[in-house]
Amino acid sequence: MRALVTGGAGFIGSTLSERLLEQGASVRAIDAFTDFYPRPLKERNLENLRGRAGYEFVEGDLREVDLNALLDGVTHVFHLAAQAGVRRSWGKEFAVYTGLNVDSTQRLLEACVNQPIERLVYASSSSVYGDEVAIPMTEMALPQPVSPYGVTKLAAEQLCHLYHVNFGVPTVSLRYFTVYGPRQRPDMGFHRFFSAILDGRPLVQFGDGLQTRDFTFVADAVTATAAAAVRGVPGRVYNIGGGSRVSLREVFDLITRVSGRKVTIDQQGPQKGDMRDTYADTTRARQDLAFAPSVTLEEGLRAMWRWMEATKA
């Protein structure tokens, strides 16, 4: 396998790149180092990758780089590059999201037409579902996103579908459900909670704390992503969830136990665009990808806590 990983300096992208190298693939990664969070954090993600045999890193924006050169020799594309974050996707920031999530995807897909690509795996999101979908969420449900971010992820997912139907690009889309673990972005919940504990600050709770999420450890998400490049059925969408659906209040109890620290809560109002509940039906991923998450939420949180302590030291 000769892989292209977009968003290769990010949380999941860098972890995936390491896994692919371990499996014997060569990896060309690209990242634009957008200012969503500090560049040094992404550079740290690359410390175990730079200089390794079979690894090449390119800095650039998918909307501007020579995609023919980038795709030269590539057999598999893992498209993880995106502007993340539900809460920042409103108002004037929306143009950033459409540019980085939709325009970049369309340009990449266009470049893949008539290329000998065996699979293009697109990293979608559970944010496409919205709040009107029955639990557990199946891939056949009607997506109705409740955030601009979710709209752009769904739009890019639909672009993957139409390029498969019309041009035969072998796309596979994965709807990740709240991925967490070492290297998690600093804007995400568990990172913010552990950072607050380490700094002696209260944990911010938006809403009543009864909202639920299906949490997926990054190693399990990466396993599914690598499998999708080999076993994924072109044109299909797959839910990738860890099977750890818990409420925010239960998360705080777990974090208290894992950290061994006293935790205080700062309750604030609900945030626009935040989904109330997520829970993945992963039947299709189990059948096609042999997906079987292996890391419990407590095990994953302990791994993340150790990483947070080490990086904050």
Query: What percent of the chain has pLDDT above 90?
Result: 92
Would the pLDDT of 107 be above 80?
Answer: yes
Give the model's pLDDT for residue 245: 87
* Contact assessment for residue 229 and residue 1, using Cβ atoms and an 8 Å cutoff: yes
| Inside any domain, residue 158 | yes
In tens, the pLDDT along 119-159 reads 999 999 999 999 999 999 999 999 999 999 999 999 999 99
In tens, the pLDDT along 175-234 reads 999 999 999 999 999 999 999 999 999 999 999 999 999 999 999 999 999 999 999 999
In tens, the pLDDT along 223-252 reads 999 999 999 999 999 999 998 789 999 999
| Inside any domain, residue 251 | no
DSSP secondary structure letters along 260-274:
-S---EEEEPPPTT-
Average pLDDT, the chain: 96
| Inside any domain, residue 118 | yes
Domain count of the fold of the chain: 1
Closest CA to 168 of 133, 204, 119: 119
Polymer length in residues for the chain: 313
Give the model's pLDDT for residue 313: 58
209: left (phi over 0), alpha (psi -120 to 50) or beta: left
| Inside any domain, residue 206 | no
* Contact assessment for residue 10 and residue 42, using Cβ atoms and an 8 Å cutoff: yes
pTM for this entry: 0.96
* Residues designated as active site: 149
| Inside any domain, residue 200 | no
3-class secondary-structure state, position 220: helix
| Inside any domain, residue 309 | no
In tens, the pLDDT along 256-294 reads 999 999 889 999 998 888 899 999 999 999 999 999 999
- Its domain, for residue 172, covers 2-177+218-241+280-293
Would the pLDDT of 312 be above 90?
Answer: no
